[in-house]
Structure 1
Amino acid sequence: MSVKHGFELLREEEIEERNTTARLYRHVQSGAELLSLENDDENKAFGIMFRTPPEDSTGLPHIMEHSVLGGSKKYPLKEPFVELVKGSMKTFLNAFTSADMTAYPVASTNEQDFYNLVDVYLDAVLNPLITPNHLAQEGWHLELENVEDPLIYKGVVFNEMKGAYSSPEGVLYRQIKGSMFPDNAYRNDSGGDPEVMPNLTYEQFRSFHETYYHPANSRIVFYGDDDPDKRLAMADSYLQAFEAVDVTDTAVPIHVPFEKPQRFTFPYSVEADGENSDKHYVSVNWVLPPSDNDMALQRALSILSVTLLGTPGSPLRKALIDSGLGDDVIGGGYSGRLRQGTFSVGMKGVKAENIEAVERLVLHTLRKLADGGFEPEAVEAAINSTEFSLRENNTGAFPQGLSLMFGAMSNWIHDLDPLSPLKFEGPLTAVKEAIANNSMYLPGLIHTYLLKNNHRGTVILEPDATLQQRQETAEKEKLAAIKARLNETQLNDIIRQTQELKALQEKPDSPETIAMLPRLTLADLDKENKPIPTDQTEAAGVKTYYHDLFTNGIVYLELGMNLHALPADLLPYVKLFGRALVEIGTGTQDFVQLQQRIGRSTGGVYPTTFLSAKRGEADAAAWLFLRGKAAMGQAQEMLDIMRDVLLTVKLDNQDRFRQMVLRAKASVESGLVPSGHAVANRRLRSYFTESSWAAEQMNGVEYLFFLRRLAEQVEADWPSVLAKLEAVRAALVNRQNMLANVTLDSENWQSFQPQLVNLISQLPDLPVEMAMWDWQRPFQNEGLTIPAQVNYVAKGGNLYDLGYQEHGSVSAIVNYLRTSYLWEKIRVQGGAYGTMVGFSNYTGVLSYYSYRDPNLLKTIDVYDSVAQFLQRGVSDDDLTKSIIGAISAIDRYQLPDAKGYTAMSRLLINSSDEYRQRMRDQILGATAADFVRFGEAVAELPKSENTVVTVLGSAEAIKKANEHNQGDWLAITKVM
C-alpha cells in the first residue's frame, strides 16, 4: 500500500464534465476520507463535514457549529471566525447545519489566505475549546442581573431559532420533515426548537463533539488549482493526532414506509385581524424509496419535477395557480437533500374550506398526467433547461468548488459514491434516451414514486392568533416557576454567572493571542483594481456595452429600459410588468407555449430591476432589464423571443395577471421574517435617497401595501389596471429609453452583433421625456408590526449633511464596525443573530440594522455609542485587517456574466475606473485618524433631527418602546 502524507489512494478518476481530476483518499491512522478535486479554478475551496444526526430538538448540532468557531487549542481567541472575517480575502467563509450534516466550507483566490483559512478551520473543528461559556453564549443560558428581576433566556442560537420559528415557511419545512420521518433522526430539528433548547446540558454538549467530530466521521474536500500534495500535508498535520474509531451508528437509517397516507395539522402565528388570519398552508409530501447511486433515476426525478413545476406554465403548477384555491404554489417538487428523496407540493394562502380541494387537485392532476402523459414541448423544455444549467455550471456568487463539494456530499455523507453526483453526462444521456424511446417514461415515474407510494403525508399549517402570546406566556411562566424553586444562594449564583459571562464577552483578546492567528499583510494585496474589458458602441441607435470575456460559447444579454421614463405612480407596476413579459403570453403563443419555448431554446429569459444611487447626481439609476442567455447556436431564437415579448405581450389577461399579483403578494409576505433586516433597512433609507425610495415602492413594505390594493382593483376595475400596464409598456419599450449589454468572446461577438442590431431596429423609436419623482417626505420613526418573536432594528442618517467629506477609508471603517463593536455588543452581548452597517459613498447615508434581535432600545443605545468607540482609536492590527476585509469585498470573485453586468452597472452609476482606483488607494492608505474623523461625524447623528429609526418586529416590543419614550416615538403600522 502506497501512503503519501498519511493517506492511501482509494480511487482516481477524471470528471470530464468539470475538467477535473478527482482523487479519493483515506487517512490510514484516523480513518478520515478526503476528496481532492484538481483543476485550473483559481477560486480554491475547502470543506470538512461531519455526519451529525440530531438526537433531539435541543439544536445541539447547530449550537456546536457556532461554538467550535469560538476558539481552539492552537488559536485560543474568543472568536477566530470573526477575526478571519475582518481580515481575509475569502470568497466564502461560513458554516452550515442541515438535517444530518454539519459543514465548514471556505474559499479564496489567494493561496496563502486559503491555507490560513483551512488551518484555522481544521483546528476549530478538531480541537475546539467548547467550554460551558460557549454553550451559554451560543446556545442558551439563564440571565439575571438583580434578584428582583425576572429570569430570561439568552443565547445567539436561541434567538436565531425564535426568528426561524416566526417564519411560516420555516415552520412548514420543519413540520414536514418531522411528520414524514417520525422514526429516525429527521423527526428532530437540528437547528433547535426554542421550547426544547433549554433542556440541553453541558455534558450532552461535550459528549456530542467527542462522538461526532472525530475524523473517522468526517468527509474532507479540497478543490482548485493549488498543489495537491500540499492539501494532503495540511490535512495530515491535524489528522495524525487521532486513531480510527467505528462511527457507523451515525448513519440515518432508511425509514419504514407508511402503511397508508396520513394527515398532520400544526399551528402558525398570525395577528388576530391580520392579512393572513384566515389563510392556511397545505403541502402534499412523499418520501421516496432509496435510489442509492442510481444517478440516472435521480436525474429523471429531477427532470420530472421541472416538467411538473419548473415554470408558471408547467402543468401541476398551472393547475394549482389556475384553481384559485390559494395565493401561490409552495414546495419545490423533488429534493435529494436527505437520505431518501422527497417530493413536496402545495399552496399557501388557502382558506379552510379549500384545504381538501388542494390535496384532491394535486392527486387528480398527477393521475391525469400519469395516464395521459406530457406535451412533448414541456418535456423538451425541462430537459434543455436542465442540460443548460449543468453545462453552464453558473453558481453565481457561490464558489463553483463548494457547489461540487455539496454535490458530492449528497451521496458521500450517506456512505455512497461521492463522484457519481459530479458526473452528469452518462445519467443525462440515459434519461434522454429513455424518454426518446418511451414517451410514457416520465409519467411512469409519477405512478411508481408518487401515486403508488403510500409514504405520503399532507401537512397543514392553520393560522393561530393566540399562538405567539401563548408561547411567550408559557416561557415566562416556566421561567417564573424555575425562579420560584431557587433559593437566594442559587439566584446569586445565576447573577454571578451572568456577570462572569458578560465580563468574558467584554474582555478583548490580548494582542499576543490575536497574533497567533495566521494573516495576510497589506503587501499581499494588489494595489491596482482589475478592470473589466468594456467597449461602448451602438446598435440601431441604442447605447451598447460589450465585454470581451470567455463565456464557453454562451451569450449573455441585458436589454435595459430606463424607469425614469415613468411617472412615480407607475413604479409599483414595474416588477409585475417585467414578469408579464415572460409569464402572460404573446400575440402568437399563450404563456404555457412561451415558457416552453424559452425552456427549449435558451438558458433563460427573465426580468430584473436595478436601483442605485449615482455618484455626483441626485437622481437614481433605475432600470428594468430583460435578461437572456443562450448557447451561440440558439442566440437568434433568444433574440426572437425577446422581440416577441417586448412587442406583442398580451397584457389584457385578467386571470393571469390576478394570479401574478397574488403570487407577488405572497412572496413579499413570506420574506418579511427571513429578510426582516433588509425590509427595515430599505424602509429607513427610503427617507434619504431617491433610489431607496424607489426600491421601497418596488420591493418593500410600501410595495406590499400596493399589491394588496391592486389585488382588489384587478377584480373591481380591470380596465384601469390594464391602462396602467399599457402605459408602462408604451413608456419603457422605446429605443430612445434603452441600452444593451453583452458579455461574450470577441469571435462570437462578430456574428452576434448584427443579430442584436436587427432585434433593436424592430423596436419603437419615439421621443421620450424623463419624469421627475417627488419622493421626499418628512422624517418619521416607524414601528412596523408582524407576528414575530424577534425584532429587526434599524437607525440611520446622512453624514454628508453633517459635514463629513467622502473618503474611501469608510469601507475599512464599516468593515471594522460590523466585525468588532456592533458584533460584540449586539450579537455577543445582546443575543441577536446578526448585525450590519451600511454606508453609501455616493449619498453619505449611514444605517445600522440588526437581525433576529431580542432587543430594541438596547440596540439603538449601541448604535448611538458607536462614535465613542471609534473615537477611542484603532490598533494597527485592527486597521490592517479592516483594510484587507474592505479590499476583499472590492475584489470579490465573479463569473463572466457577473463581470459583464458589474461593468455595466458601474457605468450607470458614474463609477469610473479612475474613481474606483482613488477609493482603493484611500482604503489602502487608511489611518487611525480616518477612524477618529468618521467617529466625530457619527457623534452628530444622535443629536440630529434628520435621523430615522425603523423597527420591524412584534407589536408588544414596539408598544413597550413607545411607553419607555412616553409617547408615539415609533409611528405604528401593521404590516401583517
Structure 2
Amino acid sequence: MPHHAAFDLLTEEQIGEVNALARLYRHKKTGAEVLSLIADDENKVFGVSFATPPEDSTGLPHILEHSVLCGSEKFPVKKPFVEMLKGSLHTFLNAMTFPDKTVYPVASQNLADFYNLTEVYLDAVFFPLLSRETFQQEGWHYEVENPAEPMIFKGVVFNEMKGAMSSPDQVNYAYALQSLFPDTTYANYSGGDPRVMPDLTYEQFKAFHTRYYHPSNAHIVFYGDDDPAKRLELLDAVLSRFERGERAPAIPPQPRFAEPRHIEKTYPSDTENPRSSFVTLNWMLEPSGDIETQLARTVMRRALVGNSAAPLHKALTESGLGEAVISTGMELAQPVLNFGLRNTSADDAEKVETLILNTLAHLAEHGIDDATIEATLNSLEFELREKNTGGQPRGLIYFFGALSEWLYGRNPLDGLRFEDALSSLKARIASGEKVIEAMIRSELLDNAHRTTLVLRPDSGQAEREDAAERARLDAARTAMNDNDIAAAVETTRKLKQLQNAADRPEDLAKIPTLTVADLPRQGAAIPTEELAVDGVRTLFHDLATNGIVYLDLGFDLKTLPRELLPYLPIFSRALKQTGTSKEDFVALTQRIGRSTGGVAVSRLTSPILGSNEAAAYLLVRAKAVSDKTGEMLAIVNDILTDARLDNRDRIRQIVAEDKARAEASLVPAGHQYVFSRLRSALHEADWLGEQTGGITQLLFLRDLAARIETDWHSVQSALEDIRKHLVNAGAAIVNVTTDGSAWPAFAGELEPFLKGLPRHAFARADWSPLPAPANEGLTIPAQVNYVAKGVNLKELGHEPSGALSVITKFLGTSYLWDKVRVEGGAYGGFASFNPLSDTYAFGSYRDPNLVATLDVYDAAPAFLRKGVNKSDIERSIIGTIGDLDPYMLPDAKGYTALVRTLTGVTDEYRQARREQVLSASEADFSAAADLLEEVARNGHVVAMGSEKSITAANRERNGFLNVSKVL
C-alpha cells in the first residue's frame, strides 16, 4: 500500500512473535520515529514516549508528567485526563515516569474512543498550557491563607513522593541506583525528593518541556486493527507544526569502578528493631543489543531467584539472616541487577554479601542443576508464546518491549523478537555449554562495578526531616517582607479559586467523547456449559486459547471453622513450597516449571448477590499445553494430597517472608489496608479478606512466627486440619477454559483425577458474628495518611440501583479529584460501591490531611444536591459501561464466568444493572445524596498514618479514633 508522503519508511517486517506487521517510519520534517504495528487485535494502543533524563532530584520529569494532562491548546480545561477517565471506554489510560523516560499510553477496543484518546494525548504532550498555577498545584507551592499562620509546602507530586519516600523499598531502590551511577543522570531521582523539590522553579519546568517534549525526541507507537494510513495522517497533522529539533543526547556511560564499593544509608522508621535493615548487592551490567544475551540474563536471574526453590533464593532464605529476598532487574542505558535481603541486621551485612558471592561462585564453578535450567527455560518459553498480559493490553507490553531497545539507539523490532535467539540459547544449553554459569562469572563475579548497600532504620530521621522542612519554611518566611507574605497569601487564594472554578461549558464541549447512543446496549456473554464430571460441578468455556488448557479447581472455604481461616495464606503457599513425600520442594518446583505454564494457589472471596454470606473458595489454578495436561493434573493431585505440612523449616521461612512482605506493603498499599479493615465489619466476604490479607493477617503472622518456635505441634495440626476439611471433591467446583477441540481429551483425564481426590460429607461453617464497626487510627512511620469511611447501605434499609455506580464514577472524577487531590494535595481520592454487598466507602491515598478529608466525604451529599449537567451524566455513564466491559483475554473470561456463577450474578442480572446504568438520570443523582447522608451520619472511619497525625486528629475530634500501632 502507498505510505504517507510526510514519512520515510525505514523498514517493514512481519514479526511472528507478536503476530503483527511492523512498519518503522521517520517523520521527514521533525525526525520523529513511529513504530506502526498492524495486528488483528481490537484492543488498540497508542503511545508516545520522550527521553527525559533528570538533571537533579527535584522531580521535574514527574511533575511535568502530571502537568501536561492539566489542559492543552485544543482542550483548555483543568483536567482533560480526568474527563477521559470519566467518559471513555478506555482499556488503559495513564502516564508513567521512569529514570530516563516519560511514557504516555492509551488503549481502547472502540475505534472512535481510541481516536478520541489519541487526539487528547497528542495535544496534551505537544501543546500543554503549563500555567504557573498548574506547576504550583502539581509540583509545589507555599500554602498560607492567613499572614498569622505558618506556611506549609503543598503539591500533588510533593505529597505523592512524601508517601513514596516513606516506603523503605522505594528508598532502597533510589539509593541503589545512586550508588551504581554516581556520575550520571541515574544518580538523580526522577520521581522527586521532597527535600529538594522546592528548589525547582517554574522557568526550569517550562524549559524542560520545550527541550524534551519535542517530536524530534519522541518515540511513537500504534498497535491494533485500526487503519494504518489514518495513523500517519493523525500524526502528521500534529508533528508538521514543528521544525526539526534535537533528540536528547545519549546518557553518558557511567565510568566503571575499579573495585566494589560499600555504602550505608538510613530510612525513617519508628522501630528500634535491629533486624529492620536492607542489604543488597547491586551490579551495573554492560549494555547489550544482542537479543540472546538479554534472554540469557532473564534466564540467569530467574534461575537464581525466580522462585523459592531457586538456588540463590533458597540459600538466602535458609540462612536465617533475613526474612525476604530482594531482587530487581532494570533495563537502563547500562542495565542493573541486584540481590539482597529485607528485614536483616545491618551488622550481618558482610555475612549477606559473603553468602551471595559464595553461592554465585559455587554455582559458576559447579553448575546450576540441569532441571532448574530446563524448568526456567520452559517457563520463559511458555510465557513468551502465551502472550498473556493479564489485564494489560498486549500492545502496551509490545510498546515497552520496543522502547527497551529504541530509547538507547537500537532497533525497536529487536524488543519484539525472541524466536531465533531462544532457539539458539536452548541449543547451546542442550549441547552442554554452561551458558548461564559463564554469565554468572562474567557479569557478576568478575564485575567490579558492584555496590553493597546497607539501609538501616533511623527512628529519629522522620523527626529531623520534619524539623528541616519546618526550618526551611520558617527561613523562607523570615526572608519575606510584608509584600512577599501578602503575595504568598494571594497565590494561595488564587490557586484555590482556580481549583474551585468550573470549566466553561464551551471548553468542556471540546473534549471528544462518545455518546450513550454509541454504547452497546447488550452486555457480552461468556460461553459457559455446566455439566458434572464424576459428580463434581464443572464449568466449561469454549474459547480460543491456542491449545492451552486453563484449569481452576475450587474448594469451598465454608467447610472451615473460623479459627482456621487466618492460616489460609500459609496453607496456600505450603501446598506448593514444602515438597511432597516423593520429592522435595526444589524438585517439585522444577517439575512444575518443566511441564506446565504455572500452578498457583489463591483465594476467591466475594459477596453473594442478595446475601450476607460470602462466596469463598480456595483455588488451584493451573495451565498447560494440551499434551501435558495429564502431568499438570498429577502435580495438582500431589500438592493437594501429599504436601509436606510437617516441613517446619519451610513453614518458618514462608511465614517470615509473608510477614516481611506485608510490612513492606503498608505504605505503598495503605489505601487497600484501610479499606480492608473498614469493610471487614460490613460484610462476611470482606471480613474473610481482612482475616487472610489485612492488618489482622499481619498481626496473626507475627504471632504465628513465635508459635512456630514454641508450639509447632499446634501450627502443624491447624494446617493438617485445613487439608482434611478442605480437600474434598464433594465440596469442589471445576472451571475449564480451552479450545473446544481440546476439551474431550482433557475431560477424559479430568474424571479419574477427580475420582482420586478425597470425598466426604461436610457441614458449612457459621462465621458470624462480624466485629462491630469501630473508628480506628492505625499508626505507621509515614509522612502521609490513608483515610477511609463507609457503611453497608443494605443494613440501613437501602437497595441502591446500578445508577449508584454512575454517581460513584462521577464523584471520583470530579468532586473527590478536586477536593482531595487538587485542593487537598493527596495523590488520590476515590469512592467505591460494591453492588453485590451494597457497601459504600470513600478513601484517600498518600494524603497530607485526615480530618479535612473526612469533612470532604461528609460534604459529598451537598455537592450532589447542587445539581449535575447532562454532559457530566453522559460521560459518567460511558465510563461506567467501560468498567462493566473490561478487556479480557480467554483465561480471564473463563475465570470471570466462574466468579459470576459462584456469586449468583446471572446474565439477566447483569443486563438489568446495565439498563439502570444506561438510564441514569439527574433524579438518580439527587436520590444518591440521601444515600451518602447515611455514609456521613453512620459511616465508621479507619485511618492509617503517623502517630503525630493520628494524635492531632484525635485532639481535633475529641478522641474519635481508637489508636493502635501497626508498624
TM-score by length of 2: 0.99
Q: Does 1:599 align with 2:629?
A: no
Report the counterpart of residue 759 of structure 2 in structure 1: 765
The equivalent residue for 2:128 is 128
Aligned to 1:962: 954
User: In the alignment, which residue of structure 2 is the partner of 1:163?
Assistant: 163
Residue number in structure 2 paired with 1:283: 280
Q: Distance in 1 between matches of 2:792 and 2:287?
A: 57
Counterpart of 1:907 in 2: which secondary structure?
A: helix
Q: Partners in 1 of 2:463 and 2:67 — Cα distance? A: 31
- Superposition TM-score, scaled by structure 1 size: 0.98
Letter matched to residue 809 of structure 1 = A
Q: Which amino acid aligns with 1:41?
A: D
* In 1: Cα distance, 2:665 partner to 2:248 partner: 39
The aligned amino acid for 1:548 is D
1:845 shift after superposition: 1.3
Q: Which residue of 2 aligns with 1:303?
A: 299
> What's the CA shift for 1:121?
0.3
Q: Is the 8 A contact 1:336 1:410 kept in 2?
A: no
Letter of the 2:93 partner, please give it.
L
Partner of 1:519: 513
**Contact 2:271/2:457 (8 A) holds in 1:** no
Whether the aligned pair in 1 keeps the contact of 2:516 and 2:874 (CA below 8 Å) is yes
Q: 2:730 aligns with which of 736, 745, 754?
A: 736
Instruction: Letter of the 1:73 partner, please give it.
Output: E
The CA deviation at 1:4 is: 1.1
Q: Equivalent residues in 2 for 1:602-641 (5 A)?
A: 602-641=596-635
- CA deviations over 1:647-669 (Å, ceiling 9, x no partner): 11111111010000000101111
1:315 match: 311
Amino acid at match of 2:354: R
Deviation at 1:804, TM superposition (A): 2.7
CA distance in 1, matches of 2:684, 2:648: 32
Task: Map 1:352-371; keep pairs closer than 5 Å.
Answer: 352-371=346-365
CA RMSD of aligned residues (A): 1.1
Report the Cα distance in structure 1 between the residues aligned to 2:89 and 2:936, rounded to whole angstroms.
34
Matches of 2:347 and 2:16, distance apart in 1: 54
Q: Distance in 1 between matches of 2:533 and 2:449?
A: 57
Shift of 1:17: 1.6
Name 1:80's counterpart in structure 2. Answer: 80
Q: Which residue of structure 2 aligns with residue 257 of structure 1?
A: 256
SS of 2:231's equivalent? Answer: helix
**Any unmatched runs of 5+ in structure 1?**
none
Q: Secondary structure at the match of 2:645?
A: coil
CA distance in 2, matches of 1:941, 1:490: 43
Q: Is the counterpart of residue 294 in structure 1 residue 290 in structure 2?
A: yes
SS of the counterpart of 2:927?
A: helix
Q: Deviations over 1:294-319 (max 9, x none)?
A: 01011011111111111110100000
Shift of residue 438, structure 1, vs aligned partner:
3.0
Which letter does structure 1 place at the counterpart of 2:669? S
Number of the residue aligned with 2:945: 953
Match of 1:269 in 2: 268
Query: How many angstroms does 1:776 deviate by?
Result: 1.6
Report the equivalent of 1:695: 689
After superposition, residues 513-662 of structure 1 pair within 5 angstroms as: 513-662=507-656
For residues 114-135 of structure 1, what are the alpha-carbon distances to aligned partners after superposition, in whole Å with 9 as ceiling and x for unaligned?
0000000000000010011111
The residue type equivalent to 2:753 in the other structure is L
Contact 1:791 1:853 in 2 (8 A): yes
2-structure distance, mates of 1:410, 1:699: 35
Aligned to 1:211: 211
* Cα separation, 2, equivalents of 1:923 and 1:812: 6
CA distance in 2, matches of 1:557, 1:68: 44
Counterpart-to-counterpart distance in 1, 2:42 and 2:387:
16
Counterpart secondary structure, 1:340: coil
Pick closer, same or farther for the CA change 1:667–1:643 going to 2, 3 Å.
same
Pick from 783, 794, 797: which aligns with 2:788? 794
Letter in 2 for 1:267: T
How far has the Cα of 1:425 moved from its partner?
A: 0.2
Equivalent residue letter for 2:266:
P
One-letter amino acid of the structure 2 residue matched with residue 964 of structure 1: E
Q: How does 1:454-465 map to 2 (within 5 A)?
A: 454-465=448-459
Tell me the residue number matched to 1:151: 151
- 1:848 is aligned to 842
8 Å contact 2:54–2:189 — kept in the other structure? Answer: yes
3-state SS, counterpart of residue 702 of structure 1: helix
Check whether the contact 2:47–2:106 (CA below 8 A) recurs between aligned residues.
Answer: yes
- Provide closer, same or farther for how the CA distance between residues 469 and 34 of structure 1 changes in structure 2, counting only shifts above 3 A: same
3-state secondary structure, aligned to 1:843 = coil
Cα pair distance change 1:927/1:483, threshold 3 Å: same
Aligned partners of 2:516, 2:613: CA distance in 1, in Å? 37
Question: Aligned pair 1:373/2:364, yes or no?
Answer: no
Q: Does 2:423 correspond to 1:448?
A: no
> CA-to-partner distance for each residue in 1:477-520, whole Å, 9 max, x for gaps?
11011111111111000000100000000001011010011110
* CA shift for structure 1 position 64: 0.4
Q: Secondary structure at the match of 1:230?
A: helix
CA distance in 1 between counterparts of 2:717 and 2:81 reads 54
Question: C-alpha displacement at 1:943, in angstroms?
Answer: 2.5
The whole-number CA distance in structure 1 between the counterparts of 2:783 and 2:840 is 27
Letter in 1 for 2:303: T
Identity of aligned residues (%): 48
Question: Aligned partners of 1:519 and 1:330: how far apart in 2?
Answer: 44
CA contact (8 A) 2:278 2:346 kept: no
The answer as to 2:918 corresponding to 1:924 is yes
Q: Offset at 1:774?
A: 2.3
What is the distance in 1 between the residues matched to 2:334 and 2:428?
Answer: 23
SS in 2 for 1:688: coil
Report the CA distance between 1:336 and its aligned residue: 4.3
Q: What is aligned with 2:242?
A: 242
Equivalent runs, 1:170-189 vs 2, <5 Å: 170-189=170-189
Task: Report the CA distance between 1:872 and its aligned residue.
Answer: 1.7
Deviates more, 1:74-83 or 1:932-941: 932-941
8 A contact 1:277–1:465 mirrored in 2:
no
The structure 1 segments of at least 4 consecutive aligned residues displaced by more than 3 Å after TM superposition are none
- Hey, what does 1:682 align to over in structure 2? 676
2: distance between equivalents of 1:805 and 1:441? 63
Partner Cα distance (2:943, 2:71) in 1: 33
Structure 1 counterpart of 2:746, one-letter code: F
Q: Aligned pairs, how many?
A: 967
Letter in 1 for 2:864: L
Paired with 1:225 and 1:553, the residues of 2 have a C-alpha distance of 24
Cα displacement (A) at 1:3: 6.1
1:749 to 732, 743, 760: 743
The structure-2 alpha-carbon separation of the partners of 1:846 and 1:248, relative to structure 1 and needing over 3 Å to count, comes to closer
| Partner residue in 1 for 2:392 | 398
Structure 2 residue aligned with 1:199: 199
Helix, strand or coil at the partner of 1:561? strand
Q: Which residue of 2 aligns with 1:939?
A: 933
In the aligned structure 1, how far is the partner of 2:515 from the partner of 2:457?
55
Corresponding residue of 1:483: 477
- Per the alignment, residue 225 of structure 1 pairs with 225
Aligned equivalents of 1:853 and 1:835: distance in 2?
Answer: 8
Partner of 1:55: 55
Deviations 1:320-379 (A, max 9, x none): 0010100010113xx242111221000011123322111100000000000000111000
Q: Which residue of 2 aligns with 1:6?
A: 6
Kindly indicate whether the alpha-carbon contact (under 8 Å) linking 2:402 and 2:412 is maintained by their aligned counterparts in 1: yes
Look up the equivalent residue of 1:297 and give its one-letter code: T
Structure-1 residue corresponding to 2:90: 90
Q: Are 2:486 and 1:492 equivalent residues in the alignment?
A: yes
Deviations 1:503-543 (A, max 9, x none): 00000101101001111001110000100001111122211
Distance 2:346 2:241 in 1: 59
Please say if residues 789 and 935 of structure 2, whose CA atoms lie closer than 8 Å, have aligned partners that are also in contact: no
